[in-house]
Structure 1
Amino acid sequence: MARILSKFARDKDGVAAIEFAILAPAFFALMAAIFEITYFIFVNTTAQRAVENVIYEIRTGYIYEQFAASGNPPPEQYIKKEICKNASIPNCLDTIKLSMEKYDGNYNSYDRTDETKVFDGGVPGILMRLEAQIQVPSVVFGNAIFGKENMEVTAGLTFMTEPY
């Protein structure tokens, strides 16, 4: 019996396979987590840039000029489409929520669009904040990393409309 055990202890065949079997799950989990976090950062950056593009159009009055003939501010759906067109996020139009706040001279919020759904910022010199919240489906381990099946990306910017 001792002879069999000493032969078994000297034999090195299959050591690499055993080490791989022990380390592979941790390695693949780490790679998937890196991919998931990188994807989240990409989506967050893309959404922020899309909101910034729409805010530029609001701030300079370009969006309001398109709706000037009707005399109404742009509808919420139009701003959502513009953000989602630039963001390239899956199911963006289905999951995006917008809110716009106006501030007075003392930086106190006095008007929120959460209830009204009207994006009226066509008056120059008003301090405003546009915020978009988008649900993004998780790719691999979102539930384990973030505690949710979908990741929520929030992109927003505070700006002052220009005198156009």
Structure 2
Amino acid sequence: MMSSIQTFASRFRRDEDGNATIEFAFYFTVFFLILTAGVEIAYMNLRHSMLERSVDLVVRDIRLSTGDVPSFAEARNKICEEAAILEDCENNLRLEMVEVDPRNFWTIDPNPDCRNAEEEPRPVRNFTPGTDNALMLIRACLKYKPMMPTTGLGKELYKDSDGYAQLMVTSAFVQEPR
């Protein structure tokens, strides 16, 4: 009995069949995690750049529209229309626009209270259209679900209790005279 176990163990140690399978399993796992992190970063960067571009286009319209100040709903709809790839933008976008004094500068609260899709609608924290030659700060905060929330970068993102991560874009402009 003991000699058959020793013979089997000796043969098992010398046999190299399946060696490549074990290496493949280890390397494939590592490469797959790197690949998913890369895809998540690319998609997150695409979302952020589209949100930033759409906010810049809307800010340009607000800045140059003399006498026609858009409401919050109009600004949000324009942002969501320009950023076509953002899923459920109207429900997950929160805007904040405030007038600041350039001689006594203060900034928007650094901790945004982005809204969650399942909360009561409160899409705006503060939205002041501004007066002639006023320095305005606008911040857009978008909640989104990561593509792969359990692997790679998606696992490391700060998410709320419902699994939403957030993107923030801030812009400043001077309201043109009317």
Q: The TM-score by the shorter chain falls in which range?
A: 0.7 to 0.9
Answer whether contact 2:80 2:90 (CA < 8 A) is retained. Answer: yes
Shift of 1:3: 5.1
Verify the 8 A CA contact 1:60 1:161 in the aligned structure 2.
yes
- Check 1:105–1:37 CA distance in 2 against 1; reply closer, same or farther (3 A cut): closer
Counterpart residue number, 2:14: 10
Matched, 1:127 2:135: yes
TM-score by length of 1: 0.79
**1:26 counterpart letter in structure 2:** V
Shift of 1:47: 0.6
Which amino acid letter does the alignment assign opposite residue 104 of structure 1?
D
Contact 1:33/1:145, CA 8 A, preserved across alignment? no
2:114 is aligned to none
Q: Deviations over 1:6-44 (max 9, x none)?
A: 443333221111112233223222221221122111111
- 5+ residue gaps, structure 1, are 66-72
Give aligned pairs, total. Answer: 153
Query: Does 1:38 pair with 2:35?
Result: no
After superposition, residues 3-152 of structure 1 pair within 5 angstroms as 4-61=8-65, 64-65=67-68, 73-88=69-84, 89-108=86-105, 114-115=125-126, 117=127, 119-121=128-130, 123-141=131-149, 144-148=155-159, 149-152=163-166
Kindly provide the amino acid, as one letter, of the partner of residue 59 in structure 1: R
More deviation, 123-132/51-60: 123-132
Fraction of identical pairs, as percent: 25
Counterpart Cα distance in 2 of 1:80 and 1:9: 67
- 4+ residue stretches of structure 1 with deviation over 6 A? none
- Between the aligned partners of 2:104 and 2:64, the Cα distance in structure 1 is 21
Q: Deviations over 1:65-97 (max 9, x none)?
A: 4xxxxxxx4221110000011112001100111
Instruction: Return 5+ residue gaps in structure 2 as ranges.
Output: 107-123
2: CA distance between counterparts of 1:107 and 1:83? 30
The RMSD of aligned alpha carbons is 2.7
Write the letter of the residue equivalent to 1:100. M
Secondary structure of the 1:114 match is strand
The alpha-carbon deviation at position 105 of structure 1 amounts to 4.3
